[in-house]
Structure formats: structure tokens, C-alpha cells
Structure 1
Amino acid sequence: MYQRIVNEGHQLGNHTYSHDYEKIYQSPEAFMEDVEKLQDFLETSTGFRPEVFRFPAGSNNQIYRRVQQDNPYLMIEIKQLLREKELPYFDWNASSTDAAAVTLDTDIIIQNTLKHVSGHQNAIILFHDSGAKSTTVEALPTIIRRLDNLGYRFDVLTPDSFYVHFNYLLF
């Protein structure tokens, strides 16, 4: 599957190897170890080393505070390490809301995506692609067609792409 993503010209991004909040949010080092594990695996598997990153739960998530109560600066430190590795991160400014349920109704995904994209000249839309997200896959042709009709264009995220970063409140 990963090789097919690369072969078809899509961007293969890093989202951590384990996606295990209890593990990755222990320390900046634990986080980067998990990121590097996926970087190495994907490079070995496909010959391509990911050039973009998305945080599990987004860059301003509060989950890390539950895991690491002693370091309120953890996310800032992680972001600095990502910059040092030249691995830019992307958040999103529109959501399909497909994470609201294990399997959300196709029409709801379509409606919510179009509603959330409205008003954005450039949009990065959050979708999920696990096996249970069959309705997300079903919704995509309609979403793509409607956004295309509205004049949106689709592109691969690269380090030079338009990006979204969530505002980060420290306390």
C-alpha cells in the first residue's frame, strides 16, 4: 500500500509509528524516536523518506498534558526538534468530521466537509483512512466533484505547500 501511494505520486506523510499517546508524549525524545522509526520504516519499504508530518490529534492537542504533567513546554520542544529535522508539520483548517464516530454517515461527511471548506481560499481537510472509515471513502468522489466545481484545485502537500498551524495556548 505504501509503495502504491509513492508510485501514484501522492505524498506519504509521517503521523508517528505507534500513534500511542501514552508513549509518544512521554518526552521530546520518545516522540522523535517514534517519528524516526516510521521515517526509517517507510524509507526502507518504499525508498521514500516522508517530508511532511501531522501530529496525532493536531499540534495544539491537550492530550500530552495528561501524559506528561511535568513539562508544559513539551509540544514546543517537539516542534523545535521537527524543525531541526526539517520535517514541517501540517494541521487542518477544515474537517470531514469522520472521527466523530467509528463509521459516520456518508452524507454527513459530505455536508460537514463542504461546510468547513466554505470561506477558505486554501483548505487542508482532515480525513481518516482506517478500515472502519468506509463511508469516508464513499464520500470522497462527491466531495472532490463538488469542490472541483467550486474551483478548488487538489495538490500534494510538500514542505513548500500552503500550511495550517493551530494557535497554541501554553496555559
Structure 2
Amino acid sequence: MLTHRIANIGLFLLLAVALLVHNLWLTLPWWVFLLLLQPYVAALVWGACNIGSNFYIPVICAADTKEKVIAITFDDGPLLKHTPEILDILQREQAPAAFFCIGNRIGGNEPLLRRIDAEGHVIGNHSFSHHFWFDMFGSAKMLAELKQMDDTVEVVTGKRPRLFRPPYGVTNPNLARAIRKGAYTPVGWNIRSLDTVVKDKDQLLERIRQGIKPGAVLLLHDSMEITVQALPSLIQHLKKEGYRIERIDKLLNIPAYA
């Protein structure tokens, strides 16, 4: 498995060989060294943008099981516009879920967060601000964001989340350090619904259906109207196919709270 450490070692060895050749046998043009950097840079970008790559840090994206069981997760809430509707659907269908919440959206929505907890769903950490430049933050600032989110949830529910999902699903060395220092469990997904992009409910459902398999973790957003529209049909389809919907902490056998 390609990791950041292995990529660094590979780059070092390639450059060492190139320098040896350059100094002992053949003068190499400068562009040869730039050419050697290209696969390394490509690996860094690939690792950052693919949450399941485990390039910078191991991220749990699914359960290793043949049992027909699946976890449903929602990012970017809590929001008064759609989160209550989603909770109503989940309650009606008796389906547990995980909500990876943004800390600065909790203020004014404390009753909604308490409802998520009271109805048996998991509250996860999705950072405090979900800032556009979050991935550019230093590790100390990232960790401060995560802890601020924990503090906010604890004040409202008395619980401190341990499950963390990176904003935008992007990882990097700074975030890896923050996750380790804060003793978080990073959680990803292996079904990306693209409900923030897809505009047609049937297309959204078909995309999700194609990815359904035992142990899957589904990424949705409780900020989208199309998700509200598609959720009842999705749950009914899962049940029809013999799937059981589990809380993510139970599916992955990891503690949700400190």
C-alpha cells in the first residue's frame, strides 16, 4: 500500500540515484530532476483527495464483512431547514444514522442536536468551521478546531465525539498530526452519493444503489433537499434487498464518544 512515508523513501532513493549518475557518469539536465518529482507530487495529491487511500493516515471507510449491513451518515448539519425532516424519516423507518456536525452550526440549533442524540444517532466531528481553507491550517489550528467542536457538543449533550470526518474528505500531514494528537478515529465512506451535485432524485438513488455492498458506509448531507426526497426510497430499497442499517460505531466496532 502506497503511503506518505513510502512515497518519501521512494523520492529519496530516486534522487539519490540520479545525483549519483549525475556526479559519476553522466551530467543530467535539470529537467530530469523535475521529471522525477512529478510522480511524487501526483502521489501527494492523490493521497490528499482520496480519503480511502490511507496515504497520510489510516481512515476507516467500511466494515470488513459479508453480512448485509450498512451505515448511513450525514455531513454538514445541524440545519433547521432539512435536518428535522431527515430525523423524521429515520424515526419513522427506525433507521439509525451518524451526523458529522459542523460546530458553528450548533449555536441556535441546540434542541436539534439534542434530538439527534436522544433519538439514538451518533454525533461525529466535522470540524468547528468547515473553513474553505481548513486544509491549509497548521496542525495546532486544526486540533483547536476539532476540540472546539467537541466542547460545543459536550456542552449541549454531555458527550465528546471521537469520530472525525475531515472537511471535504481531504487529508494531509498536518491533519494526520492533529488527528493523532487528539486521539480521534478518522471515518470516511465508500459510497459517495454526490447528493450535493446530482439534481435528479432517480439518478441519485441509482448512483447509491450501484455502490451498495456489505459493510458499506454511505455519505449523504442533511443540507440538501434532494437527500430528503430520496431518503425514504433509499431506506425501503435497502430493506427490500435484505440490508440492516446499523449505527456506524456498531458497524465499525469503534467507540463513538470519549
TM-score scaled to structure 1, two decimals? 0.75
- Which residue pairs with 1:71 in the alignment? none
Q: Which of 79, 87, 100 lines up with 2:184 in the alignment?
A: 87
Residue 125 (str. 1) matches residue 215 (str. 2): no
Q: Which runs of 5+ in 1 are unaligned?
A: 61-74, 164-171
Alpha-carbon offset, residue 152 of structure 1? 1.8
* Structural mapping, 1:62-101, within 5 Å: 75-100=172-197
More strand as a share of residues? 2
8 Å Cα contact 1:52/1:157 also seen in 2: no
Alpha-carbon offset, residue 85 of structure 1? 2.4
- Which residue pairs with 2:124 in the alignment? 13
Say which SS state the counterpart of residue 248 (structure 2) adopts: coil
- Which residue pairs with 2:245 in the alignment? 154
Say which SS state the counterpart of residue 135 (structure 1) adopts: helix
8 Å Cα contact 1:51/1:158 also seen in 2: no
8 Å Cα contact 1:24/1:34 also seen in 2: no
8 Å Cα contact 1:39/1:50 also seen in 2: yes
8 Å Cα contact 2:143/2:182 also seen in 1: no
**In structure 2, do the counterparts of structure 1 residues 39 and 24 end up closer, same or farther at CA, with 3 Å as the change threshold?**
farther
Alpha-carbon displacement from aligned partner over 1:87-125 (angstroms, at most 9, x marks no partner): 101111012211215xx22212211111122xx321111
Q: Which of 163, 167, 173 lines up with 1:52 in the alignment?
A: 163
8 Å Cα contact 1:51/1:159 also seen in 2: no
More helix as a share of residues? 2
TM-score scaled to structure 2, two decimals? 0.51
Alpha-carbon offset, residue 51 of structure 1? 2.2
Count of aligned pairs: 143
8 Å Cα contact 2:201/2:226 also seen in 1: yes
Q: Which of 92, 96, 110 lines up with 2:205 in the alignment?
A: 110
Q: How far apart, CA to CA, are the structure 2 residues paired with 1:160 and 1:80? A: 26
Residue 134 (str. 1) matches residue 225 (str. 2): yes
Alpha-carbon displacement from aligned partner over 1:70-90 (angstroms, at most 9, x marks no partner): xxxxx2342243233221011
8 Å Cα contact 1:24/1:30 also seen in 2: no
Q: How far apart, CA to CA, are the structure 2 residues paired with 1:18 and 1:48? A: 19
Q: How far apart, CA to CA, are the structure 1 residues paired with 2:155 and 2:241? A: 40
- Which residue identity lines up with residue 83 of structure 1 in the other structure? R
- Which residue identity lines up with residue 105 of structure 1 in the other structure? D
Q: Which of 144, 147, 153 lines up with 1:33 in the alignment?
A: 144
Alpha-carbon displacement from aligned partner over 1:116-168 (angstroms, at most 9, x marks no partner): 22xx32111110111xx1110110111111112212211112287169xxxxx
8 Å Cα contact 2:215/2:251 also seen in 1: no
- Which residue pairs with 1:72 in the alignment? none
The structure whose RCO (Cα within 8 Å, separation 6+) is larger is: 2
CA RMSD of aligned residues (A): 2.0
**In structure 2, do the counterparts of structure 1 residues 25 and 81 end up closer, same or farther at CA, with 3 Å as the change threshold?**
same
Q: How far apart, CA to CA, are the structure 1 residues paired with 2:234 and 2:251? A: 25
Residue 145 (str. 1) matches residue 236 (str. 2): yes
